[in-house]
Amino acid sequence: MLDDELLCAGWKGVDPERLARIVSELERGFAALAGVERGVSIFGSARTPADHPTYVLARETAACLGRAGFAVITGGGPGIMEAANRGARDTGALSIGLNIDLPYEQRLNDYVDLGLNFRYFFVRKLLFVRYAQAFVIFPGGFGTLDEMFEALTLMQTGRIRHFPLILVGSGRWAALLDWIRGDLVTNGLIGALDPDLIQVTEDPREVCSIVEAACRRQQQRYGGNGIADEL
């Protein structure tokens, strides 16, 4: 039974089997990624073809991060996820795919070195944040925007340390950023400085520079690897 079917049926009881599956996914994810000390989560559309300029840009960006010593973490699927995993593979960096079980099949792409499958979105999303020192986001659909706004909310509310959230492709994000600044800020729905949590670039080298500088600041301030632990 799907989650929404349980809700519609008025189901409110304790479900030991479901709880056990959730705990199992968390334990498996933490164990598999425990050795990731420098990771960057990359998001974008599953529908972007390999000959699209954004695919090429995502591959170049991931390769730059890989050469800088970062593992690349994606949703493990096609499109931008494949491009990022491919870029990591190009440089010998660890290429991680956190796949989600969906009603339609989404298999792990061929460029994943460490792949995990998840039933629960929230477990997967936790791992994207827990093992990342930055989010790099390419144009995508609802899933991409969900990951973006979840990270912004966690930083805005102080649930995690601030880390770079970088939108790649300034022309593709202009309308969204105008709405955030022109509507949300103007109407007092978010703070005047909240849009500063977002950085925008079209240059893979600038992405790497931003991430490396932030990593150094986190290490100096908190020690360890600077990963965005929950406060």
Q: What token pair was written down for 230?
A: 């929950």
The pTM of this model reads 0.90
Contact between 98 and 127 under an 8 Å Cβ cutoff? The reply is yes
**Residue 72, SS3?**
strand
Helix (H) or strand (E) holding 89: helix 80-91
Residue 65 lies in a domain: yes
Domain interval for residue 72: 38-223
Residue 186 lies in a domain: yes
Q: What is the predicted pLDDT for the residue at 6? A: 46
Residue 10 lies in a domain: no
Q: What CATH number is attached to the domain comprising 92?
A: 3.40.50.450
pLDDT digits (tens, 9 = 90+) for 33-52: 999 999 999 999 999 999 99
Residue 138 lies in a domain: yes
Residue 93 lies in a domain: yes
Q: What is the predicted pLDDT for the residue at 13? A: 61
Residue 72 lies in a domain: yes
Of residues 123, 34, 37, the one with CA closest to residue 75:
123
**Residue 96, SS3?**
strand
Positions of the chain with pLDDT lower than 70, given as ranges: 1-14, 105, 224-231
Residue 3 lies in a domain: no
Q: What is the predicted pLDDT for the residue at 101? A: 92
Number of domains in the chain: 1
Q: How does 72-89 read in b/e, with b if 16+ C-beta sit within 10 Å?
A: bbbbbbbbbbbbbbbbbb
Residue 11 lies in a domain: no
Q: What is the predicted pLDDT for the residue at 220? A: 84
